A and B are shown apart, each in its own frame.
Chain A
Amino acid sequence: MTHIVSTAEEAVSSIRDGCTILMGGFGNAGQPFELIDALIDTGAESLTIVSNNAGQGDAGLALLVKERRVRRIICSFPRQKDSWHFDAAYRAGEIELELVPQGNLAERLRAAGAGIGAFYTPTGYGTELARGKETRTIEGKNYVLEYPLHGDFALIKALHADEVGNLQYRKTARNFGPIMAAAASTTIVQVADVLSVGAIDPEHVVTPGIYVDTVVALPGPPSTTGNHRTEAPHE
């Protein structure tokens, strides 16, 4: 059952200290900025965040990291030219990093949503990111055993929802949304607008409502240029 709520604050109100949160987005595309702003306002801390990046610029996940709410981050590409808040936290030893190859990150999320106990992947075999992991040779090819990544919550962004939680995304802002929606106990989605039931052609639903718990419609254009918080540019 999907609940439609009217504010971002209400959408994230059940997130507590120590939760694991799957956070959609690839860079800024698909990052649920307004939900992250509301999460910052809850004061929740000691969070584990699963996201492709570790925040960029002075908005969204970068602010959550800046406020030292993130104890641990599981991601593929934290270091960017504008990841100064992560860089500072990491160099200060104030954030724990688990680096995961991007495809393994995606497949671990998919596995969590699909009830798979673990899987063998060729990615990372023979590298330092596979150190200490079980390996196996199958038909002459080498694989590494990887485990699913579940979340207590997923915070994602989509273009539209209908009233039963079916989602459509926009262009490459889709990225991790569908797999994170399935991999979390509670999935919270921000959308540009909530449509009436039947307004999305069933053939065109990307994420079925079964994976969606809470939807909030937030004003602003559908692209990432929303009404989220940004701080003065870093010097």
Chain B
Amino acid sequence: MTLRHTLPRLDPAPLKDMARSLRFVAERGGKTLKSALPLDVLPDPAARVADAALDAVLKVGQGAERGVTALAHALLDRDEAPPTLSRPEDAEAEARFATAAHDGLRAALAHLGAESALVSEMAARRAWQAVTGAGSGQEDTATAAALFLGLIATHCLREAIWPETFALPAAEAARIATFAVLLSMLSDAAGFRALLPAAVDITLALRADLAAAGEDPALLAALFDEFRNHV
């Protein structure tokens, strides 16, 4: 007689968040060191010693980055479409939304000019749980507005590295990227990735409206409704 064990299904999201955090720290550490060390003003041989030391540190960072990147990819990097926001009860909707929110936010931030970004899939899950746990049946634009506020409140975007010349305040850039991701999902859940650049540019054009909407779910839902068919 063969014993069959039912093993619990591994939830990769916390591991992926951890791997991504490591990669981000390695990336950021290397960049910070490079910009902070005054190599160009150090006299020789101090400059050569410092240069060699920096090189060694960067190599460690790159090695760590390669390792965690491979780990992050190995941990179920699926390219699935997010759920339709009008049907939050769909199979695996929470996980699909969280993965799509992570990928979408990173892509939106990159389109805005971010050099690197750390986005938490677990935070996206918490936002989804809070919104859909309150019950379904509302308009999908109202769901999008609630998710927008939830993703901001859970700090789904943990950190981003911006070029020195970047003009937008970081908090505003996070709101613009988050709005753009949800606008793309509302416009066409299956093809939302291809719509992201246009959604980001539309949201940038709506910068004043988005700021005026603040935390008001009704105003945010109205803005989603006005532009969902124009991405």
Do A and B come together as binding partners?
no
Question: A residues within 8 Å of B by Cβ?
Answer: none
